[in-house]
């Protein structure tokens, strides 16, 4: 998609320099032959008259649109981290699913577990879903008795460190939530103060002019 984003910026720059291109349909986003326009498209996108005011408005509109596009697509433009991705990024992105159906199914399972066991914490729910989703039980059954003992023993040994990691994660999430709530309260307070000050200024202006 990087080439499309770069082409879009180039087209907007051309239209910024000469808005006449847009009105005459003399510029296209994609290279190559164009299909013949239907009667409806011809009537909708026909040539328009260009005066100085229209040209100025179009130029300003294109400038704003170009700035927004450069901000939104900066990672895909030149010198962006996805413009010429490294082999490592390509390898990581190769495993990304084309849709979010996996995440939707996972969240549906989490929601179902919450409803069926209200007193259960998120760590237990995640472990249960992971155990069933990864088919850990079936994998463990295929191991020999010695391997089973070693795996279970290692799991018990690492249980303490895993619990510690989960507690730290829970603590960090709690602190993050508290910080977010405080920030929202502060923003709401500033908004109310600003609104109150604005009303007070209006009242003072009305008193000054004798209303």
**Per-residue model confidence as pLDDT tens digits over 138-189:** 888 888 888 888 988 888 888 888 888 888 888 888 898 899 999 999 999 9
Quick: pLDDT tens for 114-148.
778 777 777 778 778 877 777 888 888 888 888 88
pLDDT band of 92, cuts 50, 70, 90: confident
Quick: pLDDT tens for 25-53.
666 666 666 666 667 666 666 655 667 77
Q: Read off the tokens for 81.
A: 């981290």
Q: Read off the tokens for 149.
A: 């003992």
What per-residue confidence (pLDDT) applies to 70?
A: 84
Quick: pLDDT tens for 48-67.
566 777 778 888 888 888 88
pTM: 0.40
What per-residue confidence (pLDDT) applies to 118?
A: 72
The residues near 27 (Cβ < 8 Å, ≥ 6 apart) are 11, 14, 15, 21
Residue 81 has pLDDT above 60, yes or no: yes
pLDDT band of 17, cuts 50, 70, 90: confident
């Amino acid at each position: 998609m990087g080439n499309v984003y770069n082409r879009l910026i180039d087209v907007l720059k051309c239209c910024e320099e000469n808005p006449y291109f847009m009105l005459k349909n003399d510029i296209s986003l994609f290279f190559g032959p164009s299909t013949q326009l239907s009667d409806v498209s011809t009537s909708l996108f026909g040539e328009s008259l260009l005066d100085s005011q229209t040209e100025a408005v179009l130029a300003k509109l294109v400038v704003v649109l170009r700035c927004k596009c450069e901000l939104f697509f900066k990672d895909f433009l030149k010198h962006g981290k996805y413009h010429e991705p490294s082999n490592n990024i390509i390898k990581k992105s190769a495993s990304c699913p084309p849709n979010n159906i996996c995440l939707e199914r996972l969240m549906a399972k989490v929601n179902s577990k919450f409803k069926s066991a209200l007193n259960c914490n998120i760590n237990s729910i995640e472990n249960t879903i992971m155990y069933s989703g990864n088919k850990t039980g079936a994998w463990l059954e295929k191991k020999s008795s010695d391997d089973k003992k070693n795996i279970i023993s290692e799991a018990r040994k690492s249980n303490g460190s895993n619990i510690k990691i989960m507690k730290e994660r829970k603590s960090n999430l709690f602190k993050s939530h508290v910080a977010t709530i405080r920030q929202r309260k502060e923003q709401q307070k500033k908004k109310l103060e600003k609104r109150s000050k604005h009303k007070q200024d209006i009242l003072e202006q009305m008193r000054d002019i004798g209303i």
